[in-house]
Amino acid sequence: MESEAVLRTKQSNVFRLKCSVQNYDWGIRGPDSAVARLFALNSGSIVDSDKPYAEFWMGTHDSGPSFLIGAAENGGAVESDSTSLKSWVSENPNSLGEKVVEKWGSDLPFLFKVLSVAKALSIQAHPDKELAKILHKLQPKAYRDANHKPEMALAITEFEALCGFISLEELKDVLRSVPETVEMIGHEDTNRVLLLDDEDEEEDLKSVLRSAFTQLMSATKSMISGTISDLKRRLHSESEVRQLTAKELLVLRLEKQYPDDVGVIAAFFLNYVKLNPGEALYLGANEPHAYISGECIECMATSDNVVRAGLTPKFRDVQTLCAMLTYKLGFPEILQGVPVNPYITKYIPPFDEFEVDCCVLPEGASVLFPASPGPSICLVARGEGMMLPLESLESDVISEGDVLFVAAKTEISITSEVELLIFRTGVNSRFFDAFMNGK
């Protein structure tokens, strides 16, 4: 059921949020999309069956702001749907905690999302802070802020992605078994890669890989089109006598979505990652990746900077992408999460800005989200229950689609009426530990 109750706390430290949606073309259409369902419940809107629903944004970024509903001031309820969360935290920095304000100023350092992916996103990377400042200054329309964008995807359904470069041994196998890749990068770069050894200096490995990948991504449209035609013809012929590999089948899927796109060939160079629900993948700055399909919780630093170079009709910045990448080789780390108690699993990436909790609360059970020195946002993804901020004398109904902003130093107790699934993001607890240790 949808609750109309207004949150009331003595110290104005828990608010409902009305959040934003992004209808990018790659989103899942209509009610099949978790983004669509959550946005409809959150905003009271009706789902358009023909429309793609790609991202549900919870936070303070200007491209998809959240607004306060039923903010309480001085113990009284005030309807304030027009008050943005960004403006409110700017005027109430105590809600962020002094350590967060000292590090990031009067704004949330994280952006919380739900993604529903029907079609592959672009092959992309996110700039580090230094590069983000330069790109924002030079091309503010393409790069809308000056922040970096480390991120983490926590699978809700089975989730597919391309992430990071394959190992050197795998790369050599690709060049030996996929003749179209040799055609794209040329025999000189191919031979340089084949002569590499794991014992070679790291910078030498990166230099050779950078040269080969840049050659690939810079190919002419006619070369790309002709090479992909050759690839399709060969794979369809070989499929009659052998089982195609998972990567080959993926490449054929990508070609149907993005015909004559260089990203189809580039996929051979990247790790093919399949996440089960409850597994998470994190991405640092300057790492190539592309989400392919499925639904996930995503959290990142507060930024919308994306450098694209393949699998997209949008603006491509091939030169910047190829120059910025780390060219680190090998399969990415998959986070399984750490159990905090019987109901909460915590996912802690190596970034100060955020961590994510997943809480599965059985019917009739109760759980305590302890106070954090920083702010957090909670999403009710399924179910219904009662929430009690411990500073308050009144409980409140929470249900699917509710999004709550929780100020720093606020404990929340939740009891489920029907099994609840809650995702919470907040500032990384390791940041506060390091802060306390004077690092």
- Stretch 39-60: mean pLDDT: 96
For residue 418, is pLDDT > 70?
Answer: yes
Catalytic one of 37, 308, 316, 424: 308
The full set of domains in the chain, from first to last, is 162-335 (1.10.441.10), 343-437 (2.60.120.10)
Q: Cα separation of 429 and 367, whole Å?
A: 19
Q: What is the DSSP letter of 426?
A: E
Q: Cα separation of 224 and 230, whole Å?
A: 10
Tokens in use for 434?
A: 């390091």
Name the more confident of 309 and 141: 309
The pLDDT assigned to 139 comes to: 83
Q: pLDDT band at residue 143, thresholds of 50, 70 and 90?
A: confident
Question: Do residues 279 and 155 lie in contact, with contact meaning Cβ atoms separated by under 8 Å?
Answer: yes
**For 57-99, how does the pLDDT look when each residue is reduced to its tens digit (9 = 90+)?**
999 999 899 999 864 443 334 345 689 999 999 999 999 999 9
Lowest mean pLDDT among 125-129, 406-410, 413-417: 125-129
Feature table: binding site for Zn(2+): 124, 126, 151, 289
Q: pLDDT band at residue 137, thresholds of 50, 70 and 90?
A: confident
Q: Cα separation of 354 and 430, whole Å?
A: 10
- Stretch 10-20: mean pLDDT: 80
The pLDDT assigned to 140 comes to: 84
Q: pLDDT band at residue 1, thresholds of 50, 70 and 90?
A: very low
**For 189-244, how does the pLDDT look when each residue is reduced to its tens digit (9 = 90+)?**
999 999 988 787 888 899 999 999 999 999 999 999 999 999 999 999 999 999 99
201: helix, strand or coil: coil
For residue 308, indicate whether it is catalytic: yes
Q: Cα separation of 114 and 55, whole Å?
A: 6
**For 346-400, how does the pLDDT look when each residue is reduced to its tens digit (9 = 90+)?**
999 999 999 999 999 999 999 999 999 999 999 999 999 998 865 554 568 999 9
The pLDDT assigned to 81 comes to: 62
For residue 4, is pLDDT > 90?
Answer: no
Q: pLDDT band at residue 303, thresholds of 50, 70 and 90?
A: confident
Angle of the 179-194 helix axis to the 221-238 helix axis, nearest 10: 100
Feature table: binding site: 124, 126, 151, 289
The pLDDT assigned to 368 comes to: 93
The pLDDT assigned to 70 comes to: 62
Q: Cα separation of 75 and 165, whole Å?
A: 54
Name the more confident of 62 and 155: 155
Q: Residue holding tokens 């409110």?
A: 88
Residue 282 phi/psi, 5-degree rounding, is -115, 150
Q: What is the DSSP letter of 329?
A: B
* Nearest alpha carbon to residue 285 among 311, 309, 312, 305: 305
Angle of the 179-194 helix axis to the 202-217 helix axis, nearest 10: 160
Lowest mean pLDDT among 72-81, 119-128, 158-167, 350-359: 72-81
Q: What is the DSSP letter of 27?
A: B
